[in-house]
Amino acid sequence: MERPNHFDLPPLMRALEYNEARNFSIVEKRLPIIREQDILIKVKACGICGTDLHIHDGEFGAQFPLVPGHETVGVVAAFGSGVVDFNVGDRVVADNSELCGHCHYCRRGKELFCENFIAHGVMVDGGFAEYATYPANRVFKFKNLSDVDATLLEPAACAAHGLDKIAPQMGSSVLLFGAGPTGLILAQLLRQNGGCHTVIAAPAGLKIELAKSLNAADEFIELPRDAHTVAARMEELRTKHPYGFDIVVEATGNAKILENSINLVTKGGKLVVYGVYGDDNRVSIPPNKIFKEEINVIGSFSQTYKFPAAIDYLGQYLPVNKTDPPLTNNEPADENRINISGIVNKTYKLEQWQACLDALENKSVIKAALVFD
């Protein structure tokens, strides 16, 4: 039986397009070109994160004109002639990075640093549109997860990479600053992979309340919002945990907190730099502390090859070429996995983009997603 390689496709699609920084509109445009190895995804949901605010302002390497969106979830609508492992209708999530495979770093297996890396939704069009294309080797099938929750797979893949970098030992004590979406996932990953006592410290508000409802840690500390009292609160933490923690993760992006964090790392422990900081931020850390106490300072940024793991932590991963017929229902996740319910707490339609931006600016949402019919 012949395998259909596309749905009936419309000639035009609606997309949120930026002509330049801060100048966006909803446009009708032609569907993206499908190259031989590409999959055309009919987008069902696309997550929105802090990066999209930077892109709005023209930062983060954004190349205009651009359809942003780097957390794309949908169904396979069509595929190129070279694609063998997918069916029209398969539920999929896309890894937004295209790696070259032949640069200095790719040749050494360090693809995260690919010098010719292309980011969908940043440099080329992404998922804030009814349709988007991705190379088939960056597209993953999943089930047992709703479309909206599946927008967390990209941040979860980054958290899974963080877990690889941290490589926690069994019985580690963990302190994590920040309770954003990735932090909440990373805290749970650490807890399930060697963490025996996990503490989340974050400013009072929606996010730490969510952290509690997700049961993402054993202990929760509310941090004040101003820098001076933060230092005092960290002193209290140090008094309560005099030997510090085996693993301290700074996931707020606040350089002052990072500077203080090292005082909470136990001798021989790990300090994980996991926030997005201002380019001009500086921290002052006593080198003798790193030297004498053998503290490992670890950076973790983005991810490669972690989508299968992320899918299995949040839902269920399906190997390619093993699904027949395609899975088209939008089922919620089983219990007993990384708990993500309520992290995406608001959804918007394309034409509500300005309202969405406003909500992100004033931090009235934890994580938002654009949704499509």
Q: What is the binding site for Zn ion (CB under 5 A)?
A: 49, 51, 100, 103, 106, 114, 116
Angstrom distance (rounded) from CA 253 to CA 251: 6
Using an 8 Å Cβ cutoff, are 96 and 10 in contact? no
Q: What residues pair up with 73 in beta bridges, in sequence order?
A: 45, 93
| Least distance CB 229 / Zn ion (angstroms) | 30
Indicate the residue among 103 and 285 with the shorter CB distance to Zn ion: 103
Pairing of strands 219-223, 139-143: unpaired
Indicate the residue among 6 and 110 with the shorter CB distance to Zn ion: 110
Using an 8 Å Cβ cutoff, are 311 and 153 in contact? yes
| Least distance CB 304 / Zn ion (angstroms) | 11
Indicate the residue among 101 and 319 with the shorter CB distance to Zn ion: 101
Indicate the residue among 46 and 248 with the shorter CB distance to Zn ion: 46
Q: Which residues contact 292 (CB under 8 A, 6 or more apart)?
A: none
Please give the structure tokens belonging to residue 264: 């909470």
Angstrom distance (rounded) from CA 307 to CA 74: 15
Q: Give the helix/strand (H/E) hosting 55.
A: helix 50-56
| Least distance CB 101 / Zn ion (angstroms) | 6
Angstrom distance (rounded) from CA 135 to CA 208: 37
| Least distance CB 238 / Zn ion (angstroms) | 33
| Least distance CB 70 / Zn ion (angstroms) | 6
Residue 93 DSSP SS3: strand
Indicate the residue among 21 and 103 with the shorter CB distance to Zn ion: 103
Indicate the residue among 116 and 321 with the shorter CB distance to Zn ion: 116
| Least distance CB 215 / Zn ion (angstroms) | 25
| Least distance CB 290 / Zn ion (angstroms) | 30
Indicate the residue among 49 and 77 with the shorter CB distance to Zn ion: 49
Pairing of strands 91-94, 139-143: antiparallel
Please give the structure tokens belonging to residue 43: 């987008």
> How many angstroms separate the Cα of 331 from the Cα of each of 22, 41, 75, 145?
36, 19, 14, 6
